[in-house]
């Protein structure tokens, strides 16, 4: 069995204690972090290696973005794609050595506040990012797990109010359609909705702007774990660590964990 977790940590140095707590309490074999917000040489590598996560691949930049993949099992860097086309650190691909599986850790741009590429260049960059990912996925020919913060909640039941969020970035029809093209390009299987079928409640993000996140429960499912068709059948469990949103100084995202029978 191989357990893989993904988590937008929203600053790994600020929330190192939360990462350490998560690793001690849930002990995934591999943890994919997004939005680490530090340069690679400032990543807290020693502290995490002390917990057994001695295999690390980090792509960081000063103050923004950044991804890291940590493992207790051997991994080997396979690729770093610049799907943003501007040098931002938003992707790391690794091979899980000896398991015949590749793991792609991605942080899709949020896209700003206005869902119109003419008025908001960030929104256009987000759609173009997904377009480049789609062309990459069309050529994939190996068992792959694609995980991370996709910054899109595709289903009506993936948000607290479909009607109120239809014109809000992360749930607009054009984003949902663009993400669907990425899904279809490789036949990806959405492991979250395989194990927590729609329309069951399933959120991974609650805005800092909404007080009483638990009481109001205005969540969205922005984080995802997708598998190649041949790999999807080996997923035995998938869970959301929702209690992490209540930890002290939490990220606005919570971790997801998938267990694969490899």
User: 3-class DSSP state for residue 42?
Assistant: helix
Distance set, CA 236 to CA 7, 22, 203 (Å):
20, 21, 20
User: Residue 181's pLDDT is what?
Assistant: 98
Q: How many CB atoms lie within 10 A of CB 7?
A: 29
User: 3-class DSSP state for residue 55?
Assistant: strand
| pTM beyond 0.95, yes or no | yes
What tens digit of pLDDT does each residue of 24-43 get? 999 999 999 999 999 999 99
Instruction: Report all structural domains of the chain as residue ranges with CATH numbers, in order of start.
Output: 2-260 (3.60.10.10)
Beta bridge partners, 67, equal 34, 59
Which single residue is written with the structure tokens 């910054």? 151
The pLDDT confidence band at residue 244, using thresholds 50, 70 and 90, is very high
DSSP letter for 159, please.
B
Which single residue is written with the structure tokens 């899904």? 183
Contact 152, 176 (CB under 8 A): yes
User: Residue 211's pLDDT is what?
Assistant: 81
What tens digit of pLDDT does each residue of 87-130 get? 999 999 999 999 999 999 999 999 999 999 999 999 999 999 99
- Residues 154-178 have a mean pLDDT of 98
Indicate the average pLDDT of the chain.
97
- Burial of 72: CB neighbours in 10 Å, binned 0-12, 13-18, 19+: middle
- Phi-psi label, residue 144: left if phi above 0, alpha if psi -120 to 50, beta otherwise: beta
User: Residue 164's pLDDT is what?
Assistant: 97
For residue 183, give both structure tokens.
């899904």
Percent with pLDDT over 70 in the chain: 100
Between CA 256 and CA 239 the distance in angstroms is 6
Whether a cis peptide bond, with omega within 30° of 0, leads into 55 is: no
Q: Which of 91, 188, 208 is nearest to 144 (CA)?
A: 188
Between CA 92 and CA 81 the distance in angstroms is 7
Q: What angle do CA 246, 1, 46 make, to 5 degrees?
A: 55
pLDDT of 259 higher than 90: yes
User: Residue 60's pLDDT is what?
Assistant: 97
User: Residue 210's pLDDT is what?
Assistant: 83
């Amino acid at each position: 069995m191989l357990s893989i977790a993904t988590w937008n940590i929203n600053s790994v140095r600020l929330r190192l204690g939360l990462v350490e707590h998560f690793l001690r309490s849930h002990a995934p074999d591999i943890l994919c972090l997004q939005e680490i917000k530090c340069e690679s040489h400032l990543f807290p590598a020693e502290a995490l290696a002390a917990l057994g996560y001695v295999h690390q691949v980090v792509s960081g930049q000063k103050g923004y973005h950044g991804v890291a993949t940590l493992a207790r099992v051997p991994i080997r860097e396979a690729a770093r794609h610049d799907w943003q086309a501007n040098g931002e650190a938003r992707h790391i691909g690794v091979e899980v050595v000896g398991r015949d599986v590749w793991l792609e850790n991605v942080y899709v741009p949020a896209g700003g506040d206005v869902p119109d590429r003419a008025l908001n260049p960030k929104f256009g960059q987000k759609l173009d990012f997904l377009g480049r990912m789609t062309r990459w996925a069309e050529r994939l020919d190996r068992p792959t797990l694609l995980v991370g913060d996709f910054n899109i909640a595709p289903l009506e039941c993936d948000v607290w109010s479909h009607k109120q969020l239809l014109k809000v970035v992360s749930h607009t029809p054009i984003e949902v359609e663009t993400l669907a093209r990425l899904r279809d390009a490789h036949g990806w299987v959405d492991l979250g909705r395989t194990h927590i079928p729609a329309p069951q409640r399933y959120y991974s993000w609650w805005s800092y702007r909404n007080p009483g996140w638990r009481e109001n429960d205005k969540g969205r499912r922005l984080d995802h774990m997708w598998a190649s068709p041949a790999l999807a059948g080996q997923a035995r469990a998938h869970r959301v660590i929702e209690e992490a949103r209540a930890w002290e100084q939490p990220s606005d995202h919570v971790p997801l964990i998938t267990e694969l029978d490899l």
